[in-house]
Amino acid sequence: MADNDYITSGNNADLAALIKDYALFLFKKGETYTFPSSAQWTPPTGKRPVGYNSEDGSTLHPEPGDTTEIKGHNGDVVVSETEPGYWTIQFAGIECRKSIAEAYFGVEADESGAFHVKDATTPLEYGVVLAGLDQHGNPIVLGAAKSKVSDRDDMTFKSSDTIKFNLTMKFFKAPDGFQFHVFGLLAAEKTATAGA
């Protein structure tokens, strides 16, 4: 009889990760900060995150590129090319803070904190850093050096809910050729492997 222990012995619940808390930072183009190069990243002194997000958290989403197919005279596909696509991060800030409000409205706040909006464009470019902790206290850091707001949900004013700055940031290739980097995601597995 075959040994079937491999079916259940390959599972390790310690490698399941929950993000128990995170801080999301937006850095306007031209703002000075050190881009993450490890899970041990720290923000510049005095830099504040966007604050609380809604209970849905943040969502990292891949958007596949379009595929173009060229067919021959008999209907066979002779060339098939797929564009590289892009990634986005979606989040809904529920604190009325300058960083997220400027990204949402696409304009900078004036000295009094007011917004003067001419149109619905979102021309401001941002670096995005999401620094989180899993249930074991391991840091997981995502950094995207170049992004823009690509989508916004409606802002609702009502007594039974908070104002939400619901944004989707589209990542672009940075000068290093990458859309984003993630550090620390495999920390628990690396520790388990080193201890084995």
Taking residues 1-19, what's their average pLDDT? 81
In this prediction, residue 17 has a pLDDT band, given cuts at 50, 70 and 90, of confident
pLDDT at 127 exceeding the cut of 80: yes
Structure confidence by residue, pLDDT tens digits, 135-192: 889 999 999 999 999 999 999 999 998 999 999 999 999 999 999 999 999 988 877 7
pLDDT confidence tier of residue 196, bands split at 50, 70 and 90: low
Contact 174/129 with Cβ under 8 angstroms? Answer: no
Mean pLDDT of the region 63-91: 88
Domains recognised in the chain with CATH numbers: 18-195 (2.30.110)
pTM for the whole structure: 0.87
Name the average pLDDT for the chain: 91
Q: What is the per-residue DSSP string for 12-76?
A: -GGG---EEEEEEEEEETT---PPPSSTT--PPTT------B-TT--EEEEEPPPEEEEE-TTS-
